[in-house]
Amino acid sequence: MTKVHAFSEVSVHNKKDDCWLVISGKVYDVTSFLDDHPGGDDVLLTATGKDATDDFEDVGHSDDARELMKKYYIGDIDSSTLPAEPKYTPPTPTTPTAGSQGSGNLWKIILQFLSPLLILGAALALRSLYQKE
């Protein structure tokens, strides 16, 4: 008989002395494996509190690693308790309204080009003033 764990139960096991992972619908207690993991314990600890299937598969673990997982298997996850995957929503582009570009941005553009011209004009005026004396 397989034990079924709720995600809320699994997610609290997220420390070095108590570490559970959810991979492919199965729950693994990898606490005793943390020191032996070739990628270090931080890799496993950052995979807690979520479905770590993608993290596990992205690395491309060997058949030996998959066989070793059986040793740490403690049950299945109740998939109805898993948090929903966040969906990527691209930011909405902000389009300037009719009056917004007029005042604020126009002054920035004017000052961007006018400031160097004013500085150059002041330098030339000072130069011509001192050359006459």
Long-range contacts of 11-19 (CB under 8 A, 24+ apart): 11/48, 11/49, 13/48, 14/45, 14/48, 14/49, 15/45, 16/41, 16/45, 19/44, 19/45, 19/48
Judged against a pLDDT cut of 60, whether residue 46 lies above it is answered with yes
pLDDT digits (tens, 9 = 90+) for 78-125: 988 888 776 667 777 766 555 555 566 777 877 788 888 888 989 898
CATH H-level superfamily of 4-81: Cytochrome b5-like heme/steroid binding domain (3.10.120.10)
**Domain coordinates in residue numbering, the chain:** 4-81, 100-133
Cα separation, 69 vs 22, in Å, equals: 11
